[in-house]
């Protein structure tokens, strides 16, 4: 998958997830989220196998990529969605580091074949943006939308 319009994919997916739950619970406010890794205008998904994980981490070595999290909030009287982007800069590392990382972290269920909260210091030089966005959910942005719409105080 490539192309600049792919940046909208996580927000669209989040909207579908939230709408599916809201349809079944129309009296509740629902938050849906979806996160992707974007590198060189390509979405990097979860690796197919350990060889694919190795290839993904090899590509990312020494480069910057983006973590995009789309969020949708749907409830009675509210339908909002947004995307939060964080930039990740990976250290330059070699195949030895990749093998070590793959021995320590189960990556087959992780977009981009890594998780910053699991030995991320082996790979990551720095995060420019919301760290919570990279780990899972951009909490500050979600709380802002919830407050602005009277869903929390």
| Catalytically annotated residues | 34
For 29, list phi and psi in degrees, rounded to 5: -90, 135
Give the bridge partners for 128, in sequence order: 87
Strands (E), the chain: 30-39, 42-44, 64-75, 78-90, 124-128
Tallying the residues shown for the chain, one arrives at 153
Tell which phi-psi region holds residue 90, choosing left (phi > 0), alpha (psi between -120 and 50) or beta.
Answer: beta
**Considering only CA atoms, which of 85, 86, 39, 35 is closest in space to residue 62?**
39
Residue 35 backbone class (left: φ over 0; alpha: ψ -120 to 50; beta: rest): beta
């Amino acid at each position: 998958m490539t192309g600049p319009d792919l940046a909208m994919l996580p927000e669209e997916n989040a909207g579908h997830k939230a709408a599916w739950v809201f349809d079944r619970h129309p009296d509740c406010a629902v938050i849906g989220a979806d996160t992707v890794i974007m590198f060189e205008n390509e979405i990097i998904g979860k690796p197919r196998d350990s060889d694919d994980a190795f290839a993904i981490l090899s590509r990312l070595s020494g480069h910057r990529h983006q973590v995009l999290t789309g969020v949708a909030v749907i409830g009675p009287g509210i339908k909002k969605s947004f995307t939060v982007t964080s930039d990740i800069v990976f250290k330059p590392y070699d195949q030895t580091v990749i093998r070590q990382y793959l021995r320590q972290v189960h990556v087959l269920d992780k977009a981009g074949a890594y998780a910053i909260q699991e030995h991320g210091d082996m790979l990551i030089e720095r995060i420019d943006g919301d760290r919570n966005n990279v780990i899972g959910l951009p909490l500050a942005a979600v709380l802002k939308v919830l407050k602005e719409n009277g869903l929390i105080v």
